Amino acid sequence: MKVKYFAWVRERIGKAEETIDPPASVRTVDDLIGWLTARGETYAYAFEKPKVIRAAIDQAHVKPDAVIAGAREIAFFPPMTGG
Amino acid sequence: MKVKYFAWVRERIGKAEETIDPPASVRTVDDLIGWLTARGETYAYAFEKPKVIRAAIDQAHVKPDAVIAGAREIAFFPPMTGG
Amino acid sequence: MNAPVTIRIQQEDFDTAREIAALSRGRTDIGAVVTFSGICRGPEGGDEIASLTLEHYPGMAEAEIKRHADEALARWPLQGLTVIHRFGRVTPGQNIVLVVTASKHRQAAFEAAQFLMDYLKTSAPFWKQQEGAEGKGWVEAKTHDEDAAARWTK
Amino acid sequence: MNAPVTIRIQQEDFDTAREIAALSRGRTDIGAVVTFSGICRGPEGGDEIASLTLEHYPGMAEAEIKRHADEALARWPLQGLTVIHRFGRVTPGQNIVLVVTASKHRQAAFEAAQFLMDYLKTSAPFWKQQEGAEGKGWVEAKTHDEDAAARWTK
């Protein structure tokens, strides 16, 4: 599954996207944040305040309890500041 | 005192402006409408529904009970439809 | 604060882009520009409007618009505003009125433009006469325009 | 009803006049056109903003704007709408975003433009990084923007 990062989430992790293969126990967006956080310092820094992080599955906004099964692309980013 | 007429008030009276000299008993805008109405058929037609008529004294909107003493220019017109 | 106000009553058309530029050119304190263009609509559902003729009360028209422009400046933090209202004959598709408001933030620019339009509709001394297949007739004032203007006095 | 929708995410600037013309040219069923231009503001107080860099999520940005454009068309009787959002680096005085709405009547055009702007601010995946004398920093989301967007769900 492809993961994308934007804005300061991208900067903190140090990459814009990557392909990951989390275990089946990682069911929701929240689980995935926890799993990524455990991958290293840069991830822990990016996700240090998980409540601030927004997520999208296949380019649509989702809540933290959204199930990730079947997702092709998951994105993490800070609150939007466009317009 | 100069009186101006606009839109269908002007059309019904058949002139855009005139100079009038009403007696002192004509105190308010309402009185003036009554006085003008008595001047002839075209005026009676223009002012047949006095409640619809709007008035301005010296280019500022006024209510029917506004006193006309000292006015240089009084205007009568239908509700505005600009914009 | 330097908030330029432009008010013009004119027979000729206006250029919206030029008016936006005139208000914002060379400035970096404006974050939001709202424009409203009122356009003469054509025939719909049977009735054929060939044209509108706009009559106005010279002098008072400018004064009324100026009064509401000043009120808008007092109510919202604006960086500038422009109101242009045409008179004379306009045909479907042609411009009638333009309001441009500039502010740091969008809410002020939107609200001030709506406020000015609501008052132009109900308080500026302009009258529309429409001319169509069935002859000429004066456009009647609409209750919903009065209602729209009334919300600003709440 | 024929209501053309134009959505563009682009690096280059846009021309407000051209977009108004594209929406309304040759049509006589439009009575009201509202435009909103969001512009990069310059330094104020002590902080010196030299530029903004806009990052976006390609694909999702278009999809989110399209979703809200469709909602606007469902909620208001619009004759057309245009949304253009730039990405990349913009300097003070330059355009960031444009919304154009066209309708028979002004209220629909005003409300739809406000609705679209409120959602662009809070829901379209764009992020602003500002660069000034003190270095770079990401612009923080504002609670009042969330509040503005929330009013449309009441």
At B42-61, the pLDDT tens digits run: 999 999 999 999 999 999 99
Whether B62 maps to a domain, the answer reads: yes
Domains of chain C by residue range: 5-153
pLDDT for D1 beyond 60? no
D48: enclosing H helix or E strand = none
Q: Tens of pLDDT along C85-117?
A: 999 999 999 999 999 999 999 999 999 999 999
In a domain, B82, yes or no: no
Q: Do D138 and A8 touch (CB under 8 A)?
A: yes
Check pLDDT > 60 for residue D46: no
Contacts of B55 (CB under 8 A, 6+ apart): B29, B33, B61, B62, B64, B66, B74, B75, B76, B77
The answer to whether position B83 is within a domain reads no
The shortest C-alpha distance from C87 to chain D (Å) reads 17
What is the pLDDT at residue C46?
A: 56
- Between residues D70 and D132, which one has the greater pLDDT? D70
pLDDT at D112 over 80: yes
Q: What pTM value is reported for the model?
A: 0.92
pLDDT at D49: 65
Of B55, B42, B48, B40, whose CA–CA distance to B6 is shortest?
Answer: B55
Instruction: Give the pLDDT score at D47.
Output: 58
Helices (H) and strands (E) in chain C, counts: 4, 8
Q: How many domains does chain A have?
A: 1
Query: Quick check: D117 contacting A, CB < 8 Å?
Result: yes
Give ∠ CA C28-C34-C35 in degrees, rounded to 5.
125
Q: Mean pLDDT for chain C?
A: 92
Residue type, C57: Y
pLDDT exceeds 90 at position C1? no
Q: Which residues of D touch C151 (CB under 8 A)?
A: none
Residue A82 counted as domain residue = no
Q: Per-residue pLDDT averaged across D23-41, rounded?
A: 93
Q: What is the mean pLDDT of residues A11-25?
A: 97
Query: Could you tell me if C126 lies within 8 Å of chain B, comparing CB atoms?
Result: yes
Reference B22, options B78, B68, B54; nearest CA is: B68
> Cβ D120–A82 below 8 Å, yes or no?
yes
Determine the structural domain holding residue B14 and report its residue range: 2-77
Is A38 inside a domain boundary?
Answer: yes
**Chain D CA closest to residue A73:** D60
Residues in chain C closer than 8 A to B61 (CB atoms): 64, 123
Q: Quote the CATH superfamily of domain D5-153.
A: Molybdopterin biosynthesis MoaE subunit (3.90.1170.40)
pLDDT beyond 80 at D44: no
A57 touches chain D (CB under 8 A): no
